Chains A and B, each alone.
Chain A
């Protein structure tokens, strides 16, 4: 009823009552942006003081629909601004300029446990932003207006090179320009596979970046990577003609952060200039193969929550007490940034960082560590303005079983954590990899 009243109101408000009235003007700026850039969504020419829903819709590469929406009230100039105004309900509430992206979730009726991750980074993520009448269910309505916005992982001029002949598997991204550039080795976690999107984004910020694949999901035989595999990967970057040899850093998430820590402490071959550990883990030393790592975790019984999602953090916690298996963090030689979610249900990230901090303090190296622990953020702390995943499908490497993994986090604080941590990561990398030598010394 409210909807039809709203539509009638729009018709009456036209000065040409016998003709159709024009659509409201919906404007998303910028319409083409990198995924870590903000946008404004402005709607004009609406009836004043009316209820409207602004909605985002995205069809993923896996053919699932994702959406987010907020309920707004137009002002008396007939305008509505997602940047400025409060959302009164929907998938996000309050003042959330990027809520239309960060609160996205699969539309009702979708397959469960989905995660949204861009595979082809050479094309943009296409998101339709629409405005509807009313705060009721909009699904049966035609929107009042609708625009398309592109979200890119690659800036113009960034080049993508899949590594062809090397024993190292991955994709190299090179910024435009002659260089030389600082470099970054980028590693994801225990889900395996080759994920390029964060590396593409880092290249868009001026770093030669290698997205490294170190095992394929469900294929544990490929996972017995020697430590030397990672050292070789690091050198692929370091020895690249467009890379400054003394300015290569490493960024790892989850299991990838264990590898990162090992490279920064135990390697006699490589010397990262700085490292970033997201959802850190210091319990798998370089002597532990990845198969061994999973074996270690599953010595303890798997916990489940009320939805039958697997919770691993309790299983890993005891490993922090076993110093024989842990990374020798006392041998850390470079600055380290640790990003953790306090509601991480997959790894005990905060406890790991506490442990690392203690170890470093004991040898007078705590000045090397910068930590940011985000309340109510989960395990999957990704580049900003991407949806939060509290629990998703996961293939357990060791058993090839399909489970649902609880990652943790609440959407709003997790989104804020992604936004803030990404800024801190970029700033840390800029300071350590682009900064002058004297700027790196800490008080």
Chain B
């Protein structure tokens, strides 16, 4: 097919972007009505290869525009501008249960986008594509500074936006897998928020003392943010996913030190024994382990552990006394936590208490537990080792790929708008005095 090889041009714009930015993939100069496969290939940091592909037919001008045209099949179908990233999955023959998470956030994720003749489903590696380009997907904008935080027994990383500031800040918590996960904080800093990614389950101090952290650990992190010369001490928020939600609500409601401007809780619950330590809360969850379900594929479902939502007020965070805006992000197919049921109960509690004007709930059908920044691969199940156990299981997180991808995109946009409104807002044009400058 030399004539084809001579002509086909492939472009991806932009070729360098933040991971939450869209791109436009254009195939041009193919023969009209020609069958093509557009494929993405990414080798992640641990050496595994991930791929995604869509099947297209060029139009009368020999063009395929992935943002506008239908994919007729592949790892995604329909009109999906970002399908080649959202539907990335390990190549055939890979280890099962993999999850893609960037560790080194200062280097970009490199993705090779290629176009092949015909509607292929396998064997791409043995073929020569018609054309191929490379795109860089970055977690940090230029000038974002990464500062490891190890003072006062903390294990964390602070990301500062470029410029003199001062900036509002976000304390960023992940969930029960522990570790120091930086990529969301890096991305938040790229959007103008100082962000502190905090390891609170596998931190150095825990490894050294053998004891879980107390409330004071989070309060220390908060105070570190407050006293930073480039952070506005009165404009600090918390964002927590999964068990991170538990901690966020604990701090937002009960801490005498932490005064949040707003809070974002993703895929979590308010169900927790109140006035207990972090260790005690974790134990209380572990005590219900008998409610674990295993499905036919041997995947672990943990959503029932906290169900039914208790009526006893000592068993759930008193959201009725929250004083700051709260954004809840809910995946309705969350198989790991009873996020939907918790959100409904939170709504009810806040309505009864009269502070429901502070609550915004974003609830997404067919969306699972791992609601991450957009345009990353959807993980429906993966290997998981909860902190404090030696047990590696395959967890069912939930969600259907297309719906989950759309939810990630929508939720991220709305989270950023919520943070901007609450952390940057407060200066309205009409409230300002007139300018006579």
Contacts and interface: CB of A to CB of B under 8 A. Distances in A.
Interface of A: 2, 5-6, 9, 12-16, 19-23, 25-27, 30-34, 37, 45, 47-51, 76-78, 126, 128, 130, 134, 142-150, 152, 155-157, 175-178, 180, 206, 244, 434, 436
A186 B192 CA distance: 41
Interface in B115-141: 128-136, 138, 141
A390 B373 CA distance: 48
A217 B262 CA distance: 62
25 contacts: A9-B435, A14-B426, A19-B234, A22-B168, A26-B163, A31-B18, A32-B16, A49-B435, A51-B437, A128-B143, A142-B164, A146-B164, A148-B141, A148-B162, A156-B110, A156-B134, A156-B136, A157-B132, A177-B132, A178-B5, A178-B128, A180-B5, A244-B6, A434-B9, A436-B7
A156 B131 contact: no
A178 B131 contact: yes
Interface string B1-34: 0000111011000111110010000000100000
Given A9-B437, A148-B143, A176 B134 contact: yes
Given A30-B16, A32-B142, A177-B129, A23 B432 contact: no
A15 to B, nearest CB: 4
B423 interface: yes
Contacts of A19: 232-234
B14 A76 contact: no
B131 A47 contact: no
Contacts of B5: 178, 180
A436 B133 CA distance: 22
A9 B17 CA distance: 36
B429 A78 contact: yes
Contacts of A34: 15
Nearest to A19: B234
B6 A23 contact: no
Contacts of A26: 163
A128 B136 CA distance: 21
Nearest to A127: B142
Contact of A31 (B142, B235, B427, B429): B142
B429 A76 contact: yes
B313 interface: no
Contact of B141 (A9, A147, A177, A180): A147
Given A176-B134, A178-B5, 19 more contacts: A6-B437, A14-B427, A15-B426, A16-B426, A20-B166, A22-B232, A25-B192, A25-B424, A32-B16, A32-B142, A49-B435, A50-B437, A145-B163, A147-B141, A156-B133, A157-B133, A177-B133, A434-B7, A434-B9
Centre residue among B5, B17, B166, B429 by max chain A CB count within 10 A: B429
Main secondary structure of the interface of A (DSSP, over half): loop
B19 to A, nearest CB: 12
A147 B234 contact: no
Given A32-B16, A178-B129, A178-B132, A9 B433 contact: yes
Given A15-B427, A51-B437, A143-B164, A22 B16 contact: no
Contacts of B162: 128, 146-148
A34 B131 CA distance: 20
Interface string B340-351: 000000000000
Contacts of B136: 32, 156
A152 B16 contact: yes
Nearest to A436: B7
Nearest to A149: B142
A148 B162 CA distance: 7
B165 interface: yes
B54 to A, nearest CB: 18
A150 B134 contact: no
A58 to B, nearest CB: 13
B167 interface: yes
A32 B17 contact: yes
Contact of A156 (B15, B168, B235, B424): B15
Contacts of A48: 429, 432, 435
Nearest to A134: B437
B381 to A, nearest CB: 32
A30 B6 CA distance: 31
A177 B10 contact: yes
A208 to B, nearest CB: 14
Nearest to A244: B6
Contact of A78 (B110, B235, B427): B427
